[in-house]
Amino acid sequence: MNREFFARSVHEVARDMVGCTLAVGATAGIIVETEAYDATDPACHAYIGRTARNEVLFGPPGIAYVYLSYGIHSLLNAVAEPEGSAAAVLIRALEPTEGIELMRERRGHKARTLDSSTRLTLNQLCSGPGKLTEALGVGLDLNGAELLAPPFELSDRDPAWDDAEIVTGPRIGITKAAELPWRYCAAGSRFVSRPWPAAAPAERAA
Partner DNA sequence: GCCAGGATCGTCT
Partner DNA sequence: GACGATCCTGGCG
Q: Which positions lie near DNA, rule CB under 7 A?
A: 35, 37, 43-45, 48, 51-54, 65, 67-73, 75, 77, 88, 90, 107, 110-114, 124, 128-132, 171-176, 193
Q: How far is the CB of 56 from DNA (least distance, A)?
A: 10
Q: Which is nearer to DNA, 112 or 162 (CB)?
A: 112
Q: Which is nearer to DNA, 47 or 204 (CB)?
A: 47
Q: Outline where DSSP puts E strands in 70-141.
A: 73-79, 87-98
Q: Which is nearer to DNA, 141 or 163 (CB)?
A: 141
Q: How far is the CB of 192 from DNA (least distance, A)?
A: 11
SS3 176: coil
Q: How far is CA 110 from CA 11, 105, 121, 197, in A?
A: 33, 10, 12, 28
Q: How far is the CB of 90 from DNA (least distance, A)?
A: 3
| Burial of residue 175 (number of CB atoms within 10 Å: 0-12, 13-18, 19+) | exposed
Which residue intervals of 22-116 are DSSP H helices?
100-107
Report the C-alpha gap between 21 and 4 in whole angstroms: 17
Q: How far is the CB of 77 from DNA (least distance, A)?
A: 5
Q: Which is nearer to DNA, 117 or 206 (CB)?
A: 117
